[in-house]
């Protein structure tokens, strides 16, 4: 267990409390928010925000502050999921490295079930998707593929509901309000 001197709460490793969740929610909504402004909105000391943010980074809970990029806005309007069957003696890791060299391959996961790996890919259109699939299946180690084209994203990638559920599971958390909205400037 870790006892934070800044907030005097006890947190088990791997857990987040409601202040952590509120900080993550604020940083997700406004990645450029400063520590001082975050402390004002969360109604806690600046040192508390700084310590919490550093601890969340050290634990790997917060992994970055980069912009979220929409592939469709870059002209990649087709999203597809490609299941791969691979030659087992070669292994997953060398194949994943080769697949990572294809720019349209956004993610690669090792999976259970009918296939061995699942790739999320994007393309500029259906003809371009064929080019991407051809590049994937010609990659050394790929035996067979099956492709599903996404028609619409019903639930986009999200983690805030998970963060809130994890913080609610922490029985030692005192309820905290959601971050205060930004004050209009001027």
Which class for 185: exposed (0-12), middle (13-18), buried (19 or more C-beta within 10 A)?
A: exposed
Q: For helices 160-169 and 18-29, give the axis angle rounded to 10 degrees.
A: 170
Check whether residue 81 and residue 28 sit in a common domain: no
Check whether residue 31 and residue 88 sit in a common domain: no
> Can you give the CATH number for the domain in which 80 is found?
3.30.70.920
Using one digit for the tens of pLDDT, what is the confidence trace for 42-101?
999 999 999 999 999 999 999 998 888 999 999 999 999 999 999 988 789 999 999 999
Using one digit for the tens of pLDDT, what is the confidence trace for 8-51?
344 456 689 999 999 999 999 999 999 999 999 999 999 999 99
In the block, which residue shows the tokens 């890919």? 121
Cβ burial 165-177 (10 Å sphere, 16+ → b, else e): ebbeebeebeebe
Check whether residue 101 and residue 133 sit in a common domain: yes
Q: Residues 75, 124: contact at Cβ < 8 Å?
A: yes
In a domain, 161, yes or no: no
Check whether residue 82 and residue 110 sit in a common domain: yes
Look up the domain containing 100 and give its range: 71-150
Q: What's the start-to-end Cα distance of the chain, in Å?
A: 45
Check whether residue 60 and residue 79 sit in a common domain: no
Check whether residue 85 and residue 129 sit in a common domain: yes
In a domain, 168, yes or no: no
């Amino acid at each position: 267990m870790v006892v934070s001197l800044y907030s005097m709460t006890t947190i088990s490793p791997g857990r987040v409390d409601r202040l952590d969740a509120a900080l993550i929610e604020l940083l997700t909504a406004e990645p450029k928010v400063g520590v001082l402004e975050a402390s004002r909105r969360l109604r806690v000391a600046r040192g508390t925000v700084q310590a919490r943010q550093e601890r969340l980074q050290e634990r790997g809970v917060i992994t970055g502050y980069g912009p979220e990029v929409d592939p469709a806005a870059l002209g990649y309007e087709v999203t597809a999921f490609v299941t791969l069957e691979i030659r087992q003696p070669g292994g997953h890791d060398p194949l994943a490295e080769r697949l990572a060299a294809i720019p349209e391959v956004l993610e690669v996961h090792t999976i259970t079930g009918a296939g061995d790996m699942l790739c999320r890919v994007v393309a500029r259109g259906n003809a371009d998707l064929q080019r991407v699939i051809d590049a994937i299946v010609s990659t050394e180690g790929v035996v067979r593929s099956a492709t599903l084209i996404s028609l619409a994203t019903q639930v986009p990638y999200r983690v805030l509901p998970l963060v809130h559920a994890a913080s609610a599971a922490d029985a030692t958390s005192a309820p905290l309000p959601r971050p205060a909205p930004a004050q209009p400037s001027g």
